[in-house]
């Protein structure tokens, strides 16, 4: 609608918007969609949003799909911003909130990005889409491809949670299980996509998933009466949500909807896979691949993120930080969030609770500051992670993680 061009987020080379692109052909970095924000701001006001549909497409002019008929939606977005009074009281915080993304279709924040990516793929004539995934992105892509009439080809680590595998299988996706990590899955997509005729929608390797994720920033602003929180604590694997929110804040300022104030962005990772934390602590702009990555939180098991510099830039520009927590801490955090607030968070969301405790101990947050934690998905998909008795009975590397030979290609 109001898209002007695509632009490399690193070298700023420009690309034509109405064509299929993955990453920048010069530097291999992610591409961003750019809009005519001056034109949009001339007619779209904050007040105009109030009567609109209660999903992410309420921000229609700030999303890239041109034709309404190409929008593939299951009602994603506009998730609650829950005032966590009980957890806040236990931590000595009066303004603690949880953005609960488990209430999205397919029960995770991945629905946002996949709705926009699949819609744009449909608009640009794509028939087959491929992606690597640790689980939730695959489930979302399978669902949105089913809704949009496209084929989904999914590559997942062999130990992906069983719930995610079943979710993809029943939606008719083509599934390949890979011995390795999500980076190995991504490499397999890269090797086969040209021959197979797939369009690759890997995290930040196409311009549109981040557009869906950026609506997190728009929603937080709107749900907070256009005053951004002081601190955002975000579980970070590929980091698309954090990157997207940072983009949204810039767009909203150009629209005149918010001022210059930004939240301090806090990236949370698992101690067993913490490339962003390590790079932040070393003062580096890019993060080296994390060796021997392992964590029970499959969404955090991303040893190398293509958007590493974007994540680190946002953290530093906002005077934020990066925190690592152990698997034991993040599971305990998810249990505490459920016990105190009734939110059964995924392990990734649970990681925000011990991270917040560390920030309090280090004097990085004040008791009266407005703090938003992100629960990115539902704990229902990670029952093995919470079933301590089952874990004691069966070693992790011996637990079933596939549906059977019919799913393997």
How confident is the model at residue 391, as a pLDDT? 53
CATH number at residue 247: 3.40.50.1100
Q: Give the Å distances, CA to CA, from 95 to 255, 258, 275, 332.
A: 27, 20, 30, 22
Model confidence over 258-311: pLDDT tens digits? Answer: 999 999 999 999 999 999 999 999 999 999 999 999 999 999 999 999 999 999
Residues 6+ apart with CB under 8 A from 214: 244, 245, 247, 248, 251
pTM higher than 0.75 for the full model?
A: yes
CB atoms within 10 A of CB 271: 18
Closest by CA to 348, choosing from 291, 273, 244, is: 273
For the record, the structure tokens of 303 come out as 């040893």
Residues with Cβ < 8 Å from 69, sequence gap 6 or more?
none
What's the mean pLDDT in 216-239? 97
3-state secondary structure of 26: coil
Average pLDDT, the chain: 93
In a domain, 73, yes or no: no
Evaluate whether residue 121 is within a structural domain: no
In a domain, 384, yes or no: yes
Q: Is the pLDDT of residue 408 over 50?
A: no
3-state secondary structure 136-184: HHHHHHHHHHHHHCCEEEEEEECCCCHHHHHHHHHCCCEEEEECCCHHH
Residue entry with tokens 């990590």: 181
Identify whether 67 is part of a domain: no
Query: What letter does residue 290 receive in the DSSP assignment?
Result: P
* Structural domain range at position 214: 81-107+209-388
pLDDT single digits (tens) 12-63: 999 999 999 999 999 999 999 999 999 999 999 999 999 999 999 999 999 9
Between helix 136-148 and helix 162-170 the angle, nearest 10°, is 10
In a domain, 39, yes or no: no
Domain count for the chain, please give it: 1
Q: Exposure pattern of 10-27 as b/e (b: 16+ CB <10 Å)?
A: beeeeeebeeebbbbeee
In a domain, 222, yes or no: yes
Residue 268 maps to a domain: yes
388 phi, psi to nearest 5 deg:
-60, -35
Task: Evaluate whether residue 92 is within a structural domain.
Answer: yes
């Amino acid at each position: 609608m109001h898209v002007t061009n695509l632009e490399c987020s690193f070298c700023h080379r420009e690309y034509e918007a109405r064509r299929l692109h993955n990453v920048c052909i010069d530097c291999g970095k992610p591409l961003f969609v750019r809009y005519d924000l001056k034109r949009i701001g001339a007619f779209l006001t904050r007040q105009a949003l109030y009567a609109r549909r209660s999903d992410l497409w309420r921000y229609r002019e700030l999303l890239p799909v041109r034709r309404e008929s190409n929008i593939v939606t299951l009602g994603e977005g506009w998730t609650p911003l829950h005032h966590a009074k009980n957890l806040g009281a236990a931590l000595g915080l009066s303004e603690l909130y949880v953005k609960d993304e488990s209430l999205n279709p397919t029960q995770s924040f991945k629905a946002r990005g996949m709705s926009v990516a699949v819609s744009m793929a449909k608009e640009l004539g794509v028939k087959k889409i491929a992606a690597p995934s640790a689980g939730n992105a695959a489930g979302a892509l399978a669902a949105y491809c089913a809704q949009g009439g496209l084929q989904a080809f999914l590559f997942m680590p062999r130990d992906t949670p069983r719930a995610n595998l079943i979710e993809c299988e029943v939606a008719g996706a083509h599934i390949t299980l890979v011995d390795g990590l999500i980076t190995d899955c991504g490499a397999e997509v890269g090797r086969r996509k040209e021959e197979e005729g797939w369009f690759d929608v890997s995290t930040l390797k196409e311009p549109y998933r981040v557009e869906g994720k950026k609506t997190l920033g728009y929603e937080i602003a709107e749900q907070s009466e256009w005053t951004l929180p002081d601190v955002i604590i975000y579980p970070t694997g590929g980091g698309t949500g954090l990157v997207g929110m940072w983009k949204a804040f810039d767009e909203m300022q150009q629209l005149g909807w918010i001022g210059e104030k930004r939240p301090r962005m806090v990236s949370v990772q698992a101690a067993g896979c913490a490339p962003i934390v390590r790079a932040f602590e070393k003062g580096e702009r890019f993060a080296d691949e994390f060796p021997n990555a392992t964590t029970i939180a499959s969404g955090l098991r991303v040893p190398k993120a293509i958007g590493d510099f974007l994540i680190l830039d946002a953290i530093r520009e906002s005077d934020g930080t990066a925190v690592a927590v152990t698997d034991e801490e993040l599971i305990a955090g998810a249990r505490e969030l459920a016990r105190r607030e009734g939110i059964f968070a995924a392990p990734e969301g649970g990681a925000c609770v011990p991270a917040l405790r560390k920030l309090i101990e280090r004097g990085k947050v004040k008791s009266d500051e407005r703090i938003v934690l992100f629960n990115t998905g539902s704990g229902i998909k990670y029952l093995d992670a919470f079933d301590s008795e089952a874990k004691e009975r069966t070693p992790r590397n011996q637990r079933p993680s596939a549906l059977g030979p019919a799913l393997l290609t």
